[in-house]
Amino acid sequence: MLAQPADRFNLGLRATGELKQLILEYATHVVVHLDAAVVRIHAELVRLRPQSAELAAARRGRLRPGRWWHAGC
């Protein structure tokens, strides 16, 4: 995976190892934030579940046939 960037930027073995570590740290950082977002979104969906029928009915009331994309999606 890192062979092409290492060759392109003329990275030695040590620099390639540092690049690999940076990529790994960044990927780990992204995963942590995505996991936290999934937990927050799930909690919000659970909180809204009892109101889902009411929310759907309100949404249907704002829709005009054939113009669903203009209803403030």
pLDDT of residue 11: 80
Q: Is the Cβ–Cβ distance between 56 and 48 less than 8 Å?
A: no
Coil, strand, or helix at residue 48? helix
pLDDT tens, per residue, the chain with 73 residues: 667 777 777 888 888 889 889 999 999 999 999 999 999 999 999 998 988 888 888 888 776 555 555 555 5
Q: Would you state the pLDDT for residue 1?
A: 64
Domains of the chain, residue spans? 24-60
What integer pLDDT is reported at residue 2 of this predicted model? 64
Please give the pLDDT value at position 62: 72
**pTM of this structure:** 0.55
